[in-house]
Amino acid sequence: MVNVVVTGGAGFLGSRLARVLLAAGSLAVAGGAARPLSRVTLIDRVPVPPDLAADRRVGVIHGELAGLLDPGAAGPGAGAGSPGAGAGGPGVRDALAGAEVIFHLAAAVSGECEADFDLGMRANLRSTEALLAACRALGTRPVVVFASSLAVFGASAEHPLPAVVDDHTLPNPQTSYGTQKLIGERLLADYTRKGFLDGRAVRLMTVVVRPGRPNAAASGFLSSIIREPLNGQRATCPVSPDTEVALASPGKAIDALLCAAVSSSQTWGGRSAVTMPALTVTVADMAAALRRVAGPQADALIDWVPDPAVAAMVRTWPGRIRSDRAARMGLIPDQDFESVIRMHLAESSS
């Protein structure tokens, strides 16, 4: 039997990952044989979706991760009153102790981290430090899959971004979020080197199309300019139409996270993070695909209103990715953006 923990388990990717795991019913951990899934514990500060809460195989722990594992790291009141809160309370301690795989997805997003430095440090750095320390204390060497980000790369005057980012490109984050993710990668690698756990970091692309309301991520507009017009609502694009972006559908992001959990150490190939494959498109390409799928009335709902601050941030992100290491593990990018939109429509109507 296999137990799994997902931090950020009530979020978009966390809840989707949980559903995929539960539907499969089994998991082959780190190259081993597939075994039945016994329990999936979701840790989040917000309620999990009702369908997951109703599944008898799902456990739920409410609270901010840093506060649940280390009350002093979370700030005054964070996580207070939550089940399992406080100094690695029984809920968290028991869930981690019984888990063979821990997916660490909990994070504050890029825009939030730029607006509130302390929030980013608490949610992205201190929570990761606390989780890794807790895993070390267990002595069970669990597989820890860390959701990192393409934001670890960036362009600066002394270190221009290459035309194509590959497996050997030096990280050079230009945001607090990217810096926090890079530190998380390096901590995970060192805990792995010391034999405390088996860490695998996956650099996720911007995931499109995200359902629901816009979030505070700087990349959120890339979903909004598709999602809102499909619902007959106006959306604002803050960057120029010729801006290149690297994207992945939700399904491809989940594929990358699961690949990290099930790959043998030999297949995974080391302690450094794996950059997942990406579909490269311009924002104009995205609008054109929307028009082909939903008609001219859809892309007419996009308002092209430049926002210099957002545009400056987006310009530091790589647009073209060569992911040879990921490709050797069987990961492939989405075929085209039109298919990404159609997948979103199919899932939204189901």
- Which residues participate in catalysis according to the annotation? 177
Helices marked H in the chain:
12-24, 50-53, 65-69, 71-74, 90-97, 110-115, 117-120, 127-138, 176-193, 221-230, 250-262, 265-268, 283-294, 296-299, 308-315, 324-328, 337-349
The CA R_g of the chain, rounded to the nearest whole Å, is 20
C-alpha 192: how far from chain center: 20
User: ∠150-205-322 over CA atoms, to 5°?
Assistant: 75
Strand, coil or helix: 295: coil
Instruction: Give the residue among 105, 83, 78 at the shortest CA–CA distance from 95.
Output: 83
Asked if residues 229 and 294 have their Cβ atoms less than 8 Å apart, the reply is: yes
Enter the DSSP assignment of 152.
Answer: G
Instruction: Report the DSSP beta bridge partners of residue 7.
Output: 43, 104
Asked if residues 238 and 306 have their Cβ atoms less than 8 Å apart, the reply is: yes
Angstrom distance (rounded) from CA 114 to CA 305? 21
What type of residue is 278? A
Angstrom distance (rounded) from CA 89 to CA 230? 44
